[in-house]
Amino acid sequence: MNIHKTLDIDLKKCTDEQIKNVAKLTAYHSNVLLRNQELTKDEYARILALWGDKTQHHAWYEDPDHHQIQYVTNRAMPELGGKRGIFPRGELEWHCNGTLALDPEDCVTLYCVVPTKDRCDTIFLNGVEAYNDLPNHVKKTIDNTMLMVTSDVRSFHRSDFEHLITRTEQPRILNDNRAYTISEDQVTSDEAKDLHNIQGRKRSDGPIYQEMMRRKQEFSVEGRWKYTYKKLVHEHTVTGQKGLYFPFLNVAGLHDIPKDEQKELYDYLVKHYLKYEYSHDWKTGDLMLFDQTQALHKRQPFPEVDGEQQDRLLWRGAFYYDGVQ
């Protein structure tokens, strides 16, 4: 398995089955890059539909005529009524999408319409390569470990999470592959829709939302958004290969690891994971697909000229692997 795969093909000349196979390759290579694509919105939306579109429809940052396409840009977009798209400024730190979501997207795609004049890389980490190269004794230690993941960046070792890290209940997994739960007694599969509304910060009349309002401290830390448990070692739904699911900036603790051993293991895994990096310099026509289940990514800050950010426009899409297997 390689950290990165580049394909020399023109998607507009591919059959539907060939287009679906491009998405499958992402499961095996973590990142798949296609250079020199010349796609209209209609063509990109059709490709995303073949891959099993999983965008948040009716979001304010999507194209009004192509709901599969979302704008990632610092430009004011006429299509959005003059608003900028999502993530319009600054650096984006290491993350994977949907860390707290009930059913997060498996893969994200970005198509570069307008790159910045100077470099503004997106950088990727490959969790499969990182896991494969771990010593066997470390693999044995972490294979069944659950992460305590929060919405607060850099939450590891923070004192306001101490009481959560020392809790002893066994997390209950709702979805084995996406490995999601809140805690031992708060969620059943019948309540998943209500939970999904909560995760999306939407009001709900369901029982979990109402209970959360009554027992807010059980679901959050000092009023901040709540925590979840997820598997540190994820078995890929397509390849069956093990890889790290380790959004380390959002990890508050390592379940079942003795508290006095957590810091050493956490620091070791972060240092090790950062070795498996691919940095991408965007060019017009680049189409990148990148895995969310066994990888991380981040964006460098937009370069500036005389205090003004250089423009960049990417079209974003997302999908589940279920649709291309």
Which residues of the chain are modeled with pLDDT < 70? 1-3, 53, 55-58, 101-103, 152-227
CA-atom Rg of the chain in angstroms: 20
Superfamily classification of domain 5-126+276-323: Clavaminate synthase-like (3.60.130.10)
Amino acid at 229: Y
pLDDT at 44 (0 to 100) = 97
pLDDT at 245 (0 to 100) = 93
pLDDT in tens, 83-126: 988 888 877 889 988 777 656 788 999 999 999 999 999 999 99
pLDDT in tens, 195-228: 544 444 444 455 554 554 444 444 444 444 466 7
Helices (runs of H) and strands (runs of E) counted in the chain: 9, 18
pLDDT at 176 (0 to 100) = 37
pLDDT at 254 (0 to 100) = 85
Rounded distance, CA 248 to CA 191, Å? 28
Token output for 233:
């070692």
Rounded distance, CA 127 to CA 145, Å? 15
Domain boundaries, the chain: 5-126+276-323, 134-260
pLDDT at 58 (0 to 100) = 67
